[in-house]
Amino acid sequence: MKKAKEESVKEIYTSKRLFIRPHHLMCIVCFYGRGASSPLEQDNLYEVLKRIQSDPDTPVTLVEGCDIICPPCPSYNPKTNLCDNVCGLIRDYKKDLDVPQRLGLLPGTTMKAKELYSLLFERISSAMEICGYGDGIERSYEWAICGNVHSKYYKKGREEWFFKEKY
């Protein structure tokens, strides 16, 4: 995991564009809204946040499957580029379809980070809409809702976002 973290962080800071799963856009907002101020061992949310804070014009391409945030995660399988966590697999695929659908985008779309977040904030005002399936009811383990749905981190992150576009 440590090597995967080091290699993926290097890629985040040196690549010309970032490849990100659609639902991770929202995870980054929750991470920011939580007031997190240091990297985590198991993902690269902090590093991607820092990259787009330093350059809001960074191109971001929406991808299907795992992305640059995933390599340090213990559930990430680099051989298949998939998440091995049953809960994360199906639940996150749904969110990865719901986010671009709400934005009117498709996987493969590339936009500047600031434009993508402006669109995200304009069209998705609450984490409950995507990460809580609209009602916040957890019906089974495989369809677990994100723990941040009831925390209001997305709302706070959206309100305090570091670059403001019209939304």
Q: Residue 119: pLDDT above 60?
A: yes
- Contact indicator for 115, 56 with CB cutoff of 8 Å: no
pTM of structure: 0.93
Mean residue pLDDT across the chain: 91
Q: Considering the domain boundaries, does residue 131 fall inside one?
A: yes
What pLDDT, on a 0 to 100 scale, did the predictor assign at position 167?
41
The count of domains in the chain is 1
Residues 2-29 have a mean pLDDT of: 96
Residues 105-121 have a mean pLDDT of: 97
Domain that holds residue 143: 2-160
- Contact indicator for 120, 103 with CB cutoff of 8 Å: yes
Q: Considering the domain boundaries, does residue 88 fall inside one?
A: yes
Q: Considering the domain boundaries, does residue 166 fall inside one?
A: no
Q: Residue 7: pLDDT above 60?
A: yes
Q: Considering the domain boundaries, does residue 65 fall inside one?
A: yes
The answer to which of 5-14, 25-34, 144-153 has the lowest mean pLDDT is 144-153
What pLDDT, on a 0 to 100 scale, did the predictor assign at position 144?
85
Residue whose tokens read 């576009």 = 165
Q: Considering the domain boundaries, does residue 167 fall inside one?
A: no
Q: Considering the domain boundaries, does residue 130 fall inside one?
A: yes
Q: Comparing C-alpha atoms, which of 105, 97, 13 is closest to residue 54?
A: 13
Higher pLDDT, 15 or 76: 15
Q: Considering the domain boundaries, does residue 165 fall inside one?
A: no
* Radius of gyration, alpha carbons of the chain: 15
Q: CA 67, CA 83: separation in Å to the nearest integer?
A: 10
Position 29: which residue type? Answer: V
